[in-house]
Each structure stands twice: as structure tokens, then as C-alpha cells.
Structure 1
């Protein structure tokens, strides 16, 4: 079995699962309880918060635990919008955001807010000049992802930070779900970034746990109210075992990030060069300023889901360009925003690599690719 769908989810590290089991078995008290079991859970919770903060170069009071990237994105977008509504109701998100951001923004447009979508160029990068033109006196939020989940384009977060440097009333949110462990933290978590979303299962933690970075002093309306957890900003009993194991996963991921990404980038380049040798292949992911792990391509005239299943017959697992929307059968939203014609966008599939993959798997993938390419000759 060859798993090339790591942008959808990663396999939890063995050490992470061990931590989860240990905490879930031995430290199962509710952190809100006053007794000793509750106190032990609180200590684990806060130790995990501190570890995550230190790994990101931030402080513990800036880390808020969630159920994952979707909740973190929803909270950031809606939380800022409602918190700042009295100052303005205009928000800007890029046109290639994950549905967790884009659909949240669209929902806000039904609640009296005005949403502008910042366009991207033909390579999948946010157009800075057009983004600047969208800024208004009543703009309260700009949200741009760090790494695009469909083609892997690394967005110009540093330059956007500079653009917003003299606009302190605008909150800047970054969806960092696909960025952590793939590009340096300093590249996307700049001093100007006010909020950033993270999801544990993208970096070898278990599913159902994530966190939101919120810069100290910035205000955010809660989405969940009730028990007052997470400083009364996110009420629900904390998933202590998931949080503790996520902290370990983040440490393991960042410890080997530099070495791992050299290996991953080399595998990606070999695949990319082989794909480009074939005339009826479109490679949608570029080389410069692209994440080392994501590569999107299409076989002319062959829908993406057909290619996915063709590889699956050989126990090779890839995806159409977004796991969250792959079952809908829609063309990749990022490609459409880039100006790619719909028929071409519908052919797109995504390979997403990890340090767990190796060159023997790459060779097997390319062997199967050549077989599939030959079989689709008539269609092409």
C-alpha cells in the first residue's frame, strides 16, 4: 500500500498514540473538576499549551484548543466579524481559501456583512495590488491561507503583513493548516498575524483536535458558550489526551522539519519531472514558492475521480484536489480561480507526500502512472 494523500490526513505517529493512550487511561479527570484527578488533567493541559506556544515562538496565553482546522477557521472568521461589527462589516478573504474559511465568509454575507474575495494570478498566488485595492476604512478582517491545500502555492504572507502594517484596526487571519511542518513557522506566523488556525491530524496527531493562535490583546467573540473553558472563549470539556498527544506530534514534526522536507521535495521533483515528459499531462503546481509536499496534475480528458480509482486498484492512494470537497464531484475551486478552464480543472488530482514515503514508492507510483496513461490513450 502506498499512501500519497497526506494533505487529507496523516497517520498518527506511534509515539503520539502512546501518549494519547497513557493520558486517556491514567489522567482521565475533567480539568474543570476541583479534585486531584481534575488538577492532574489541568497540569497536562497547561503543559501542552506551553509546549505548543514555545514551539511556535509564542506565549501560552495565545493558544486556544479547538476540535481542528474547520472550527479554528470558523471561530476566527465569525469571531472577528461579530466582535468588530460596530466598527465595520467588511471582510476580505482570498478566492482560494479552504471551504472552512470561504463558506464562513459567505454565511456572514447573509448576516449583514459584506465580503470581498481577493483574486489570485494564473499561478495561484494572491494578487497583492488587487488585495490592496479592496481594503476600506470599514474593513475589519483579512484572511489568507499560508499554503493552498489544492496545488500547494505558498501565499505571500510576509508581503501581506507589510501591506497591513499601518492598519492596526484590521485583523489578519492565516489558515496555517497545510503550512505547519512544511514551511518555516516564521514565514507565516509573522508579528502582524493576529490569528492562525492549526489542525492536529495534518501533522501526525489524532483527528478531532487542533488549536487557534490568537495574539495577546486581540479580542474574539466566542462561538461556543457554556462552561467557560479556554478563558470563557471556547466552552466545552477539553480533549486532554488529544491535546497532549498533539503537542508531542508538533514537537516531533518540527524537530525533523528541515531534513524531512529536503527528502519530500526531492521525491516531488522526480514525480513532477516525469509527469512533464508526457504531452497530455497538465501539471498545475509550480516549483518556485510551492510547498515541498503537494503536487497537482491532470490527464487530458480524464476526470480526476477516474484517475484516483485507477491508482486505487493498485493500492496507491491519492485524491482529487481537496479531500473536503472530493465527493461533491466539483472542479477544483483553486484552479477555477486561477483561470483554468473547467474541463481541465475537472481532471485534477493531488499527490501529497510525507517523510514516511520513500523513493521505492515513488518508482512504483510512476510505473503505475505510465500504465494508466497508456490505458487512457483513446480518451485522450
Structure 2
């Protein structure tokens, strides 16, 4: 049986072998509770604080500004809901975009039901918003702006630095949050330079373990404690620490930060190669969003006249894993909200788009094989 070609790294990534090794060792040796005062507990505490420093350095933050969470969804929920809880007396207006991940959109919908006014910024044909849109949407009662760093379906990059600079200069009291789950590990993120107040990250997008992530909280921002109980995470999030997960996350971050430039170049090459190989076929296609202003590992393609659900079945039978969009929407019959934001309902691209995303283990041969199988499937589906 042929080996599976995995091109769905935007959904999740395989753990790096060195991450697995570190976690296995931590399971054997670092079983102590990091809150215990004996030596075994202190060893676990030391591991947690070393990891916190690594996470902080990766985004140019301070260790005390890092709160370790269970992943991107929790980090997004905390950032949005706790900011709203803290600053609701100052105002109940929040700005976000129509193309956010459900981990942002669902808390926004909840807040809307409880009396908050949410402004959803539309995107242009490349899936981007502008600083001018934020400027026009701001009100005296605005308390939070939440804009993702890079989109998880089409890869579009948002003008985070420009928005952060504008907010700092004109509305410094407004909290600025970015969901950086897809961008972290490929983009150069500097929370100080970009004037970011809250930032969400997940380990499983960078070849780390599932169930672990972090939320950066600027030391000048005060939000209520996240989970009540013990005094873990600087008294912000109670619960006994997941030591193996934290150790694995730390290793994944170290590997990414060391190899980030090479990885970015590699993914950009794969993206261009994929397009070049498609152009050598007779497939009628177009790219959703921008090739240039986008995350290097995500490519969204409209294969014209080919239903994506049927195409995915053919590719799956050929042991090729791609997707139609966000993994968090799998099984949902509703069309992609991101593609609707680009094209409006009824556009063929909404039902004829696949997302390929690159990462650990992807090769030129895998790209070429995938395009060949797409060609075969398109030929079959158009002829049936």
C-alpha cells in the first residue's frame, strides 16, 4: 500500500520526532507536581518556567506575560470573553472580521447575545481588511479589536502592525487581540513592535502536541483570572500543569524558531511548485486570495467545475489528504464563511475549493503526485 501524502498541515501537524522524544522522557522523569516544594516538584517547576521563557522570547514578550493554556481555542475565548468582562463598564463595542476562526466568532456571537455590539469588518478580494476600516469602525465605546494574524483557510495576512500602531496612537485604551494560531512559527511576530496586547498560539500547528498553547497578555492589561482554583500560571489559570505537553511545546517552538526562515522558504517553494504543476495540466483553476500577501504554507484553490466534496473522496481513496477549509468545520453542511466573505453566496468557488497546506515531511514528489491525482480526478468527475 502506498504511503499517504499529507497536505493538511493547517488543520494539524504531525509531531516532530524530537518533540515525541522529549515528551516521552518527561513522562518518565518529570511526573512531579510543579506546585510541590520537594525536589521532584521543583524539577517540574523549572521545566515550566524554562518553557515560559522560550515562549516569551519567540514573540519578544516577558515571561510573566505568558499564560499556558490548553490551546488556541481556549486562548481566543479567554482573550475575548475576559476582556469584555473586565472593560464592559467602559463600553460594549467590539471590532472583529468576518473571516475569523470559529474560536473567535463563537465568543463574539455569545457576547452579542448578552448585550455587546459587534462590528464585523468585511474583507477585500484578497481576504484582507485595512487600517482605514478599523479607523472608521472605532467608537468611543470600543473596548476590543480582534483581528487574526493570518487566515486559516486562504492564508491571507492582515495588517497587524499597522492596526496596532494606529490604535496605540489614537485609541491606546482599546485592547488589541490577534489570533496568531496559523501565523506563529512562520511569521516574525514582535508583540512590542506591533503593539499587540493579547495573542493566541497553539502547539499542534507547529509539530507540537495537541491540548497545549499559550496566551500572551501584555503586562499593562488587566483581565480577570481565567480558571479558579490553585495559584498556577501566576494566579491567572488554575490547574496542575501538563508537564509533558509543556516540554513538547517548548521543543517544538525551539525547532521552529531555529528553522523558521528555511521552513518559510520551503513552504513558499512548494506553493509555487503546486501552482506551476497545475498550470501544466488542462485544469481550469484560480487561487483564492493572494499568493504574495499570504502565509507560505496555505494554498486555497478554486478548481472550476469540480465539486470539492467529490474531489476529496477521490483523493482520499488515492491516499492523499487535503481539505476544503477549516478542520473545525468538518461535518458542517454550511459553506465556508471565509469563501462567502470573498465571493458572496452562490459563487461556484464556494463548492469547488480545496485547501492544501504544507509542513513536516512534504516533498516535491508528494506535490507532483498530488497534482497528477487531482488531474485524474477532475477528468473523471467532469466526464461522469
- Distance of aligned partners of 1:278 and 1:90 in 2 relative to their CA distance in 1, 3 Å threshold: farther
* Cα distance in 1, alignment partners of residues 227 and 352 from structure 2: 40
Does residue 1:113 correspond to 2:116, yes or no?
A: yes
* Cα distance in 1, alignment partners of residues 41 and 309 from structure 2: 48
What is aligned with 1:37? Answer: 40
The farther-off stretch of 325-334 and 33-42 is 33-42
What is aligned with 1:357? Answer: 362
* Cα distance in 2, alignment partners of residues 231 and 262 from structure 1: 38
Does residue 1:249 correspond to 2:252, yes or no?
A: yes
What is aligned with 2:131? Answer: 128
* Cα distance in 1, alignment partners of residues 173 and 160 from structure 2: 18
Instruction: Using the TM superposition, give the Cα deviation of residue 189 of structure 1 relative to its aligned residue in structure 2, in angstroms.
Output: 6.5
2:239 paired residue among 236, 241, 246:
236
Q: Secondary structure at the match of 2:95?
A: strand
2:174 paired residue among 164, 170, 177:
170
Q: Secondary structure at the match of 1:163?
A: helix
8 Å Cα contact 1:319/1:326 also seen in 2: no
2:318 paired residue among 286, 293, 314:
314
Instruction: Using the TM superposition, give the Cα deviation of residue 222 of structure 1 relative to its aligned residue in structure 2, in angstroms.
Output: 2.8
Give the number of aligned pairs: 378
What is aligned with 1:367? Answer: 372
* Cα distance in 1, alignment partners of residues 262 and 299 from structure 2: 19
* Cα distance in 2, alignment partners of residues 190 and 99 from structure 1: 27
Instruction: Using the TM superposition, give the Cα deviation of residue 286 of structure 1 relative to its aligned residue in structure 2, in angstroms.
Output: 2.1
- Distance of aligned partners of 1:278 and 1:225 in 2 relative to their CA distance in 1, 3 Å threshold: farther
Q: Secondary structure at the match of 1:259?
A: helix
Query: Structure 1 segments of 4 or more deviating over 6 A?
Result: none
Q: Secondary structure at the match of 1:338?
A: helix
What is aligned with 1:73? Answer: 76
2:98 paired residue among 89, 95, 98:
95
Does residue 1:46 correspond to 2:63, yes or no?
A: no
Instruction: Using the TM superposition, give the Cα deviation of residue 162 of structure 1 relative to its aligned residue in structure 2, in angstroms.
Output: 2.2
* Cα distance in 1, alignment partners of residues 288 and 194 from structure 2: 32
Matches within 5 A, 1:209-358: 209-276=212-279, 278=282, 280-342=284-346, 343-358=348-363
The farther-off stretch of 278-287 and 101-110 is 278-287
What is aligned with 2:206? Answer: 203
The gaps in structure 2 that reach 5 residues or longer are none
Instruction: Using the TM superposition, give the Cα deviation of residue 200 of structure 1 relative to its aligned residue in structure 2, in angstroms.
Output: 0.2
* Cα distance in 2, alignment partners of residues 263 and 325 from structure 1: 28
Instruction: Using the TM superposition, give the Cα deviation of residue 279 of structure 1 relative to its aligned residue in structure 2, in angstroms.
Output: 5.3
Q: Secondary structure at the match of 1:74?
A: helix
Instruction: Using the TM superposition, give the Cα deviation of residue 191 of structure 1 relative to its aligned residue in structure 2, in angstroms.
Output: 4.0
The gaps in structure 1 that reach 5 residues or longer are none
Q: Secondary structure at the match of 1:183?
A: coil
Aligned residues: CA RMSD: 1.6
Q: Deviations over 1:247-298 (max 9, x none)?
A: 1100101111111211211111121233356453232132121111111113
TM-score (norm 2): 0.94
